[in-house]
Structure 1
Amino acid sequence: MTLTPPEVPTVRLRGRYLAPDKTPLAGTVSFAPPSVLTLPASDVISTTAAKVTLDSMGAFEVDLIPTDVPGMSPSRWSYQVTEKLKGVPPRIFHIMLPGGTGPVDLADIAPVSPYAGNYLPVAGPQGAKGDQGEPGEVTSEQLDALEARVAPRPQEYTQTSALAEWTIPHTMPYRPAVNVYDVSGREIGGSVEYPTPTTVLVRFAFAETGSAVLH
């Protein structure tokens, strides 16, 4: 699937989605660049996401603009990937797609967190009943701390002054996915980086105000 003129560099991205029983999944996957992406050398401006529909085998192929084209504005950014698959909760994450490479498989570059995803529980044989132990004492603060480690809640951030770079602190035990919104509540794209384990840096082509949700 080709979405760009021949003079614009592209990278072929492919992927395939299967259920645990190897049944092909159905749905769509979209790849959103920043709100405005300019390639002066090719006289091209890109403002919309590329959206692909999975075929009967649960697969797709798409040609996308690399994220490191010289002279492109913004110069440092990432694609926001949105998966909408039948029977599966939507997932949003970001990827970098450098040029000068052969076909890339999405499974090789998509981030994976041990705290998110769909799991298939498998019950084993029931063991012998053990002796009842002594009752323990757990404070509400300890329960809250345990819950925060096992299933971190989404964290919200508000940017009140217009900046082209947002520095967002967080307390999650992994690199969170980021959804960014302008003041009207419309989702916008930006380049997401992780300069430290507790900081997210979002870059935009223009100064923006709004909010972000980390999850």
Structure 2
Amino acid sequence: MTPTPEPDAYDLPAGVPSVHLTGRFIAPNGKPLTGSLTFAPPSVLTMPDADTIANTVAVVEIAKEDNGSFAVDLIATDAPGMSPRGWSYQVTEKLKGAQIRQYHIMLPERPGGEPVDLADLAPVSPNTGRYLPVVGPTGAQGPPGLPGEVSEAELEALEERVAPRPVAWTQSAASTLWTIPHTFPYPPAVRTYDTSGREIGGLVDTPSPTTVTVQFAFAETGSAILS
């Protein structure tokens, strides 16, 4: 007997404001992409006004027949009385043929339930809720500046500050929660691996500007790469 597939869409409880999020992913040649999107709020959201607690993550699958498109209703990040306040979703894109990408977005409730497209959202800082700058088109090249003298140490320090190198972290004791300190000037992307080198998925959170955590369903040992 063929099992009934789990539905992709659910009705949120009454009194919980939501945002209808849409999007589409294609390759540079126009080929639709397949894969999954994960929308992770803080570990627990409490909404006393709606007598509701939200936990874990929302996963949206993009199948071949979807033509690269998706649509999902998510809890608005500015729901009244919700705790915590001022939070953001961590979005993880796992698309076939593309690198895994992680960033944060805010989804405030829209007037009249107007839908919003993922391509129109700028990523935000998970700690402050402020929007991060998005690089625009390159402007015209200016005149050359005067020559100067910069030491090799100064160049290395500048390179480290502007483009921090990836950092490896080892988790030798099996645990369902990995706590990883870092010195990146921004919330780094995290990729986790078991002891055999196979990539494993976990819920990444940023409890502070200098710490990331990865929550697993089972106790794991292995390593992480922060970049």
Tell me the TM-score normalised to structure 1 length.
0.60
1:72 to 78, 82, 107: 82
Q: Which amino acid aligns with 2:9?
A: T
Q: Which runs of 5+ in 1 are unaligned?
A: 115-136, 157-167, 193-199, 203-211
1:106 to 118, 128, 143: 118
Distance of 1:169 and 1:75 partners within structure 2: 25
Distance of 1:5 and 1:89 partners within structure 2: 31
Corresponding position of 1:22 = 30
Report if the CA contact (8 A) 2:187-2:206 is conserved. Answer: no
1:146 offset after TM fit, Å? 5.7
Q: Which amino acid aligns with 1:85?
A: L
1:148 offset after TM fit, Å? 3.0
1:12 to 12, 15, 20: 20
The higher relative CO (CA closer than 8 Å, separation ≥ 6) is in: 1
Distance of 2:11 and 2:85 partners within structure 1: 19
**Map 1:188-199 → 2, pairs under 5 A:** 188-189=204-205
1:177 offset after TM fit, Å? 4.4
Distance of 2:159 and 2:187 partners within structure 1: 17
SS of equivalent residue, structure 2 residue 67? coil
Distance of 1:201 and 1:149 partners within structure 2: 15
2:58 to 12, 35, 50: 50
Q: Which runs of 5+ in 2 are unaligned?
A: 1-7, 124-132, 136-148, 169-180, 193-201, 212-223
Report if the CA contact (8 A) 2:40-2:203 is conserved. Answer: no
Corresponding position of 1:33 = 41
Distance of 1:188 and 1:153 partners within structure 2: 20
Give the 3 Å change call, closer, same or farther, for CA 171–32 of structure 1 in structure 2: closer
SS of equivalent residue, structure 1 residue 141? helix
1:151 to 163, 166, 169: 163
SS of equivalent residue, structure 2 residue 153? helix
1:191 offset after TM fit, Å? 7.5
Give the 3 Å change call, closer, same or farther, for CA 3–48 of structure 1 in structure 2: farther
1:91 offset after TM fit, Å? 0.7
1:9 offset after TM fit, Å? 1.7
1:61 to 53, 71, 76: 71
Give the 3 Å change call, closer, same or farther, for CA 21–149 of structure 1 in structure 2: farther
Corresponding position of 1:122 = none
Give the 3 Å change call, closer, same or farther, for CA 189–4 of structure 1 in structure 2: farther
Report if the CA contact (8 A) 1:176-1:214 is conserved. Answer: no
**Map 1:129-168 → 2, pairs under 5 A:** 140-141=152-153, 144-145=156-157, 147-148=159-160, 151-154=163-166
SS of equivalent residue, structure 2 residue 46? strand
User: What do the CA deviations read for 1:167-197 (whole angstroms, capped 9, x no partner)?
Assistant: x99664xx54466x9xxxx6453588xxxxx
Corresponding position of 2:10 = 3
User: What do the CA deviations read for 1:9-68 (whole angstroms, capped 9, x no partner)?
Assistant: 211001111111111111100101111111112221111111111143111000000011
Distance of 1:5 and 1:53 partners within structure 2: 19
User: What do the CA deviations read for 1:44-97 (whole angstroms, capped 9, x no partner)?
Assistant: 111111111114311100000001101111122110100001111101111111
Report if the CA contact (8 A) 1:4-1:64 is conserved. Answer: no
